[in-house]
């Protein structure tokens, strides 16, 4: 059984402490929901949990081993969607997903289904730069569906989505958690998904 946990993690931006003494433990099928006002350190914390920066203090562990010791082995098992969509404007929606499958050990057969589920089929062969902000956001999230990862770390995944797309994304999270995977997510809204257990953390900085 996989376990993702932190012990007394501290994050600092410049000289300003953002997160202090953060400890949690996630197992299969569980979701961690992080809330906090703008500037409270949510994005900094997620980047730290991804291993993109080091905590000022404390440890982040996957199956009892520090993620910085695991290095690429840890990064290979997680998918991160940040505020920036990270899609290539000159590539079509379909091409962006084909690239994602090759980078994330997925298979090209998943691309059609991902486009359909995120309501992007009729835009599949358009350059991504002509898509709306909401469509680009859905494309960024569609990359989750073409990769095989044990942990999703998502920064405001519902931003820019309409109500129907939010409902689709909640269904996707439910399916993913039901398979025994784990999610860490920031969101200003409640998340309706079938997590085995949901933990809540509020950042007050």
Please indicate, yes or no, if residue 91 is contained in any of the structural domains: yes
Domain with 130 in it = 80-149
Is it the case that residue 105 has pLDDT exceeding 80? no
Residue with tokens 């600092």: 12
Count of H-run helices and E-run strands, the chain = 7, 9
Mean pLDDT of 120-132: 97
Each residue's pLDDT tens digit, 79-95: 999 988 999 999 999 99
- The number of folded domains in the chain is 1
Answer whether residue 205 shows pLDDT above 70. no
Contact call for residues 132 and 120 (beta carbons, < 8 A): no
12 occurs within a structural domain: no
In a domain, 111, yes or no: yes
> For residue 11, what are its two tokens?
């994050």
- The answer to the question of residue 127 being in a domain is yes
Q: Residue 131: inside a domain, yes or no?
A: yes
Give Cα separations from 10 to 19, 49, 154, 172 (angstroms).
Answer: 5, 11, 20, 31
User: Is residue 39, in this structure, part of any structural domain at all?
Assistant: no
**pLDDT digit string, tens, across residues 157-176:** 999 999 999 999 999 999 99
Length of the chain, please? 205
Asked if residue 188 has pLDDT above 90, the reply is: no
Spell out the residues 6+ positions from residue 190 whose beta carbon is closer than 8 angstroms to its own. Answer: none
What pLDDT was estimated at residue 46? 96
């Amino acid at each position: 059984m996989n376990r993702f946990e932190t012990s007394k993690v501290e994050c600092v931006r410049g000289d300003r402490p953002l997160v202090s003494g953060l400890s949690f433990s996630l197992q299969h099928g569980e979701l961690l929901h992080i809330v906090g006002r703008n500037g409270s350190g949510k994005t900094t914390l997620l980047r730290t949990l991804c291993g993109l920066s080091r905590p000022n203090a404390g440890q982040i562990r996957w199956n009892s081993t520090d993620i910085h010791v695991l290095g690429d082995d840890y990064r290979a098992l997680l998918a991160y969607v940040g505020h920036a969509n990270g899609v290539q404007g000159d590539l079509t929606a379909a091409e962006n997903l084909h690239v994602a499958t090759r980078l994330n050990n997925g298979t090209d057969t998943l691309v059609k289904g991902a486009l359909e589920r995120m309501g992007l089929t009729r835009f599949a062969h358009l350059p991504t730069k002509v898509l709306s902000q909401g469509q680009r956001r859905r494309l960024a999230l569609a990359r989750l569906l073409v990769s095989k990862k044990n942990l999703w770390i998502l920064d405001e995944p519902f931003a820019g989505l309409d109500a129907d797309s939010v409902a689709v994304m909640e269904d996707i999270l439910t399916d993913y958690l039901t398979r025994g995977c784990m999610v860490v997510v920031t969101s200003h809204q409640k998340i309706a998904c079938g997590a085995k257990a949901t933990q809540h953390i509020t950042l007050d900085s």
